[in-house]
Amino acid sequence: MSLPIKLPISARPTLTSNIFTATWNNPTLNRYDFTNVAGNQDQTVIRMTGASVYVIERVNFSATIPEGVFQESIDSAISVPQLIFKTDKTDSPIFDRPQPFINFVDNLEMLLFVPGDQSDDEIQVTFQCVLNQVPATVGIVTIKAFLQLNVYEVENTDWTRRFFYNPDDTIGDLQLRGGARRLRINEGTFG
C-alpha cells in the first residue's frame, strides 16, 4: 500500500523516538503500569515552528518483550494500550481519539497533517498501558515500549500557503486535506 502525497523537495524528514518505561510492581502492585508514570506522559515527539506543516507519514511501535507476550500481557479489563497525541500549546488532540496499539507495527503508513500554528509548539505523546505478568515475563523487572514516527516538516511557502489557505472568501472552495482544517463552506454567504 502506498498513500499518495506530493511533498515539496524541501520537506525535511525527521525520525522521532519516544521510549516509555514500566517497572514491575511500581507504582501499581502486580502490574507493569505505564499509565501512572509521569515520564510516560506528554513526552515531546517533535518541536514545531510556526508556519510549517508537519506530516506524520509513518509509525513504528514495539517493546522489549516479544509481540505475542505483549498481547498476552494486556490487561484488557483496564484498557488496551493506547497512544494519545496532542499539541502542547493548544492542548488539543491531533487525532480524534486515543490510538490503540494492540500489536507491534513496522512502517505503518498514515498521513496526518499537523500545522505548526504557533511558534515553539510541540507534538506530545502519552502512552497508556497496563500489562499483567505472564509466565514469559517472570523475572523481567522493566519493560520498555518504543514509538518512532517519520515526520516531514514542510516549510515551502507555496505548499504551506495552500494548506493554511482560508476558504472563507471563496464560497464552497475545498481545502487541501488536513487534520486540523477540513472542508469548510462559508454558509454565511452561500447562495
Partner 1 sequence: MSQVGIVSRLSTHGGVTFTVNTAVTDVALILTGSPDLSVNGTIMNLQQGDNCTIEGFSLQLPYQFGQGKFDVNVDGDPAFFQLGWRDNAGNNGSVNEVGDTGLINIPDPNYWYETETFLPQPATVADKWHLEIIGLGGWVSQIYAPAVLDQEELHAAIHLRIRHTLPLIA
User: By the criterion CB under 8 A, which residues form the site for partner 1?
Assistant: 24-25, 29-30, 65-66, 69, 133-136, 138-141
| Cα(49)–Cα(26) distance, integer angstroms | 37
**C-beta of residue 19 within 8 angstroms of C-beta of residue 89:** no
| Sole residue written with cell 509509525 | 59
Q: With respect to partner 1, which residue has the nearer C-beta, 67 or 106?
A: 67
Q: What is the DSSP code (8-state) at residue 34?
A: S
Query: Which H/E stretch holds residue 73?
Result: helix 67-73
Residue 17, Cβ density class (10 Å: 0-12 exposed, 13-18 middle, ≥19 buried) = exposed
Q: With respect to partner 1, which residue has the nearer C-beta, 22 or 46?
A: 22
We find the least distance from the C-beta atom of residue 111 to partner 1, in angstroms, to be: 35
Cis preceding linkage at 27, omega within 30:
yes
Q: With respect to partner 1, which residue has the nearer C-beta, 4 or 135?
A: 135
Q: With respect to partner 1, which residue has the nearer C-beta, 50 or 66?
A: 66
Return all residues near 67 (Cβ < 8 A) that are at least 6 apart. Answer: 103, 104
| Cα(191)–Cα(171) distance, integer angstroms | 9
Q: With respect to partner 1, which residue has the nearer C-beta, 143 or 154?
A: 143
| Sole residue written with cell 511500581 | 26
